[in-house]
Structure formats: structure tokens, C-alpha cells
Homo-oligomer: A and B are copies of this chain.
């Protein structure tokens, strides 16, 4: 099959099933979703005053009765400091469990130690929004027979709700929990802020284990995760490397290039028509994205414009803007630095939200649908404004879909910020290796060499031009960049599909093929 972006998609993949081709950002959401089955949350029951506390993670896992072919879920709020996933997979391996489907909200370098378990048949399938480090490289060179499925944060909720992912066991790591399993990430020595991605796991998994290094007297407040979903509670010495979980305050980039891009992006936003009182806003934590917030903050103060809400990954920079009264509310599905936890704990306008409310396309309106402006990064972007945030310039899986396509589709103004090239590698390309977010969802691209406007939005281009913004045609920019960097040697791919990029609605937007080494 050829999908609406011209990407070739197989009809069927062994171990995954029948595939549906991507047909446009809102095509399935406009028609066809009604036939999508949803699955019931499991039925459970327990007697009163029963003890849920297990003596060890191993004890809890044994009580959950793991089986070959099981699906296990994890959340990535501990970022690169998580140690519980590796411990869990080690225990399952020692128990001889095979053929596990690993459904993690994201995978980081800290998960490299599970690589041998991909090679020995312990783990045979992976669902994740991102894969990095040695895992990404190994998968890209064919470590698994069944392709990994890359989903968005909203798509993951949809996948669980519709039964594409059917969790047998969910591991929920908390920086504070009580004996009944009420749990949070907002307090304790390993505080990591919001636990928003794990809430759907708690609701749908047949068994749920809460792991904490901080057992508090009942009840654990806030009730980010509630006891009615929790089967077992494990108290452990450490839930991870605190220096990688709780890493202070996210700083604005000092890179002159990123700052220049950020300033240009803020200028474009200012004149886009969406920088209005009551606007809502989301920015990422990396590179130029967060720096855009700095310039927008200045502009908000100068023009006395106050916004409605900030959404998504929340940094201490967002907290500052909340405290200054620039925004009314923070909706926090994932906290990017430790300084955020205290705000979450004490400010009732800093609200932890489940991933379902954040970005699930299959409901009455997630919050990304309510976004005015989002600023996003890119590993590559092409002349059709298609964005790649999953594979690197070498073709290896090394990024994350995250909330990219969720927010891009919902926002009234989607701004992609990136340098036009990195090293000698062009970022603006004729065709990206892998599409994660379709070009139709991107309004403008801002690089250090100027701002490109998606031709779908002529009106926006006129607005920016009349405000004196340096607007360039993306085709011209692409050629300009090529003339500087030269055209990189093509990557050699084999036929084998190692990854499927699922769009948030469950259709397949692209495939990732094995890199020939």
C-alpha cells in the first residue's frame, strides 16, 4: 500500500497484524474511528484491609503470575535515571519468561542493559514513543524479528484503550506511595513531578505494581495514582539515579545559533495573529524550543498580553511564567526538571494531567486540540514540511515521537525550530528519512537562515511578510543548504522493516528499514 504521503506500507506484518495506511492528519478522526473497537478495563476485586506490600520487586512480580507472551508497561518520567525497568526485565528473564511485549512510554540510554534480552528471545516486541542509545542502534540493525512500533504519547493511550496494547502487568515507579498504592511523583527524595503517562497503564493493566523508595503514611497526597487500580506495592532502596531524575532547573540554551533561531521564532509568533490575550502555548525543553519561551515571555510583558495555559512537558521556566501571572494554568503530563515538583505540590493552578487528557485523539477533546501555539524541534524536515524526530541522519533510531504529532495536529500555529544544518549534515531535505509528523500539521519552520511558511497557509505568509519577517521559500532554503553542505552520501537500507511509525490515530505514517552496516 502507498499512504497519503507516498510512503510504502505493508498490508500486514507478522506479529503485528493488518496495517492501515495514514490518510491525513484528521482523515480517520473525521470518519472511520467509530468502527474502532475499544476494550474493557479489567475486572478486579479484593477483600477489605488486605496487605498489598510485597517484600521485594521479585516477590511482587511472582505474585502477578507472569507468563510467556505477556505485555508489560513502563512510564518514562524518571527519564535517564530509571533503574526499575532493567531490574524488572532481569527478574522476568531469571524466571524464564519469554516472548515479552515491552510497552514503554519511552526508552532511554539507561535502558541499554536490556539489549541482551532482545537478543535471547526474552523480549520479542516493543511499543514505545522513543528509542535511544544502543537499543535504537541494535533495533535499526535488525535485533528483533518483529518491527518495533513507534507511537505518539496520545497514540499510546489510544492504543491501550482500543486494545492494540493489552497490558498484563504495569510497573509504576513513584517517588512517594502509601501501603494501598496511592502514589505520586511530586514529592520525596526522587521526586520527578507529573506521573501523567502511567495513569492509563494503571487503569488497563491486569496487574499493577507500584514501586517506591519512599513509603509514606496513608494517604499519599496528592493522589496522582489511586489505590483502586493497584494490586501490589514494593518498597525499594532506590528507584533510580537521583542525579539523572532530579536535575535541578532546566536552563535556557547559551548556543548563539539556538538563541538566534528562538528569537526569529518568537518574532514570527508575535506577528502570526495567534499571539493574543488568552493564548495557549507549548514548548519543548530542548535546544531552541525552550529559548522561544524566553523571548515570548519578554514580549508578553512588553505587550501586557497574558495567556491561558501552558501544556505538556513542563519546565521550571513554565513555573516561573505561571508565578509571574503570565499564564493562568500549567497542564503537566511530564515534568522536565526537579524544580517543577514543588510547584505541582503546592500550586493548584499547576495541574497534573493524564496522557489521555493531554493528547488521546479518541475522546471528546484532548488538550492538544485546544492549543494555540506549539514550538517543536526536528531531526529533519523536508520541503513538504514533513518532520522526522525518530531516525538520525545515519538512519538509526535515536529519537522520540513523543507529543510531536499530537501537538502539531491540534495547535492553531505549529512552529518547527531547527538549524538548517548540523555539522556537515543538512536538516532541511528534499525528503525526510522517516515521517513522524505530516507536513500538513506544520505551519512554519524557523531556521537561522529565515522563516519558511507552509504554502497551505498563504494568509499566514502574507501576515509575516507585512510584519517585516524574513520569509524564504523552503525549496530555496533546501538548495541553499545543499550548496553549503554538499549532498550527503545516501544511507543504505535493507528491505527488512525494523520499525513502524504509527500516527496518533493508529494508521501507519511510515516504516523504518534496517540500516546496512
A interface list, Cβ under 8 A from B: 26, 29-30, 33-34, 36-50, 52, 161-162, 180-181, 208, 217-219, 221-223, 226-231, 278, 308-309, 328-329, 331, 346, 348-349, 351, 353, 356-357, 360-371, 409-410, 412
Asked if residues B219 and A360 are in contact (CB atoms below 8 Å), the reply is: no
Q: A228-B357, A370-B180 are in contact. Are A410 and B329 (CB under 8 A)?
A: no
Select which of B34, B38, B49 is within 8 A of A412 by beta carbon. Answer: B49
With A278-B217, A349-B221, A357-B227 already in contact, the answer to whether A363 and B38 are too (CB < 8 A) is no
Q: Chain A binding site: helix, strand, loop or mixed by DSSP?
A: loop
Tell me the bound Cα distance from A6 to B35 in angstroms.
Answer: 47
A186 vs chain B, min Cβ distance (A): 11
Contact call A364/B30, Cβ cutoff below 8 A: no
Q: Tell me the complex Cα distance, A231–B363, Å.
A: 9
Q: When the two chains form their complex, are residues A38 and B47 in contact, meaning their CB atoms are under 8 A apart? A: no
Closest partner residue, chain B, to A329 (CB atom): B219
Pairwise interchain contact B349-A52, C-beta atoms closer than 8 A = no
**Cα–Cα, bound, A37→B42 (Å):** 9
Sorted from nearest, which 4 A-B pairs have the closest CB atoms? A48-B369, A228-B363, A38-B40, A33-B45
Q: How far apart are A295's CB and chain B's nearest CB, in angstroms?
A: 25
A361/B45 contact (C-beta < 8 A), A221-B351, A222-B348, A228-B356 known: yes
Q: Quickly give the copy total for this chain.
A: 2
New A-B pairs, 4, CB < 8 Å, besides A29-B47, A45-B363 = A26-B47, A43-B161, A48-B368, A221-B349
Given A40-B38, A348-B348, A349-B221, A46–B363 Cβ distance below 8 Å? Answer: yes
Residue pair B46, A364 in contact (C-beta under 8 Å)? yes
Tell me if B364 and A228 are in contact (CB < 8 A). Answer: yes
B217 touches A44 (CB 8 A): no
CB distance from A216 to the nearest CB of B (A): 11
Whether B364 contacts A208 by the Cβ 8 Å rule is yes
Q: Are B40 and A365 in contact (CB under 8 A)?
A: no
Evaluate contact between A49 and B228: CB separation under 8 angstroms.
no
Set of chain B residues within 8 Å of A369, measured between Cβ atoms: 46-50
Enumerate 15 A-B pairs (CB-CB under 8 Å) in ascending A order: A29-B45, A36-B43, A38-B42, A38-B43, A44-B362, A48-B365, A48-B370, A50-B369, A181-B365, A223-B353, A228-B356, A228-B363, A228-B366, A231-B364, A346-B348
Question: Which chain B residues lie closer than 8 Å to A223 at the CB level?
Answer: 351, 353
**Are B221's CB and A329's CB within 8 A?**
yes
Which residues of B lie under 8 Å from residue A222 when comparing CB positions?
A: 348
Contact of A227 among B47, B364, B412 (CB under 8 A): B364
- Minimum distance in angstroms from A254 CB to a CB of chain B: 34
Give, as a whole number of angstroms, the nearest-CB distance from A52 to chain B. Answer: 7
CB-CB < 8 A to A33: which residues of B? 43, 45
Do the beta carbons of A39 and B36 come within 8 Å of each other? no
